Homo-oligomer: A and B are copies of this chain.
Amino acid sequence: MNTITLGIIEDDELIQESLNAFFDAQPEIECVQISSSVEDFLTSIKSLKKLPEIILLDINLLGMSGIKGIPLLLNELPKVDIIMLTTFEDNDSIYKALCAGACSYLSKKTPLKKIKEAIEVVSKGGSYMSPSIARKIVNTFAPKQHKSNLLTPRQKEIVAEIVDGKSYKMIANDLFVSIDTVRTHIKNIYKALEINSKAELIRKSYDNEL
């Protein structure tokens, strides 16, 4: 197994040193650049022989924030994997970092051994995150429980088929009813939602408005 080249962007000197000392002792990982800011890091890498494959990135930095730096880092190093290493664990920071292109998100409380593990996992094409952060991430997908009772269960079935791209005829077949029944359902759905076209129905469905 090849050594993994690592970059660190972290403005707390204590943490910098602690990480540096730790990775120095790990033959699998070679720390090729440590900077206190994204700006410095971007300048420094121009004169490096070995480029980092993975970057540990803090959010609260001097100069631009780690999150704003992600696109710039990815622009300079398109193949790099970015692991956030930060004290912030709020949904918003996590969400923004991932949307910007980070591939993993760790709390600074994470033990060094786990950080190393995360680096190895990411290097193999995976992603590591703590259970609590993972939960926050999956929660961003979860349905926003509108649960409006505008539509009956049967009507919702019909909507699902429509959204799936089925024609009335196909729906009738799938649900074992006549096409006229499908028509009637759709008439009622349109009345209930105060719309009058399939396009609006699909939009509402995608926007979770039913």
Does A127 contact B121, Cβ atoms closer than 8 Å? no
Q: Which residues of B contact A203 (CB under 8 A)?
A: 163, 165, 202, 206
Does A98 contact B167, Cβ atoms closer than 8 Å? no
Does A197 contact B167, Cβ atoms closer than 8 Å? yes
Q: Which residues of B contact A121 (CB under 8 A)?
A: 131
Instruction: State which of B101, B135, B164, B165 has its C-beta within 8 Å of the C-beta of A142.
Output: B101
Does A98 contact B141, Cβ atoms closer than 8 Å? yes
> Nearest Cβ distance between residue A16 and chain B, in whole angstroms?
26
Does A104 contact B138, Cβ atoms closer than 8 Å? yes
Does B143 contact A138, Cβ atoms closer than 8 Å? no
Give the distance in Å from the alpha carbon of A139 to the alpha carbon of B127 in the complex.
10
Interface check A151, CB cutoff 8 A = no
Does B71 contact A138, Cβ atoms closer than 8 Å? no
Interface footprint category on A: 35 or more
Does A199 contact B126, Cβ atoms closer than 8 Å? no
Interface check A132, CB cutoff 8 A = yes
Interface check A42, CB cutoff 8 A = no
Interface check A179, CB cutoff 8 A = no
Q: Which residues of chain A from 125 to 156 have any CB-CB distance to chain B below 8 Å in the complex?
A: 125-132, 134-135, 137-139, 141-143
Give the distance in Å from the alpha carbon of A132 to the alpha carbon of B121 in the complex.
9
A binding-site residues for B, Cβ under 8 Å: 71, 95, 98-104, 121, 124-132, 134-135, 137-139, 141-143, 162-167, 197-200, 202-203, 206
* 9 pairs from A and B in contact (CB 8 Å cutoff): A103-B135, A103-B139, A124-B131, A125-B132, A128-B134, A162-B199, A198-B198, A202-B206, A206-B206
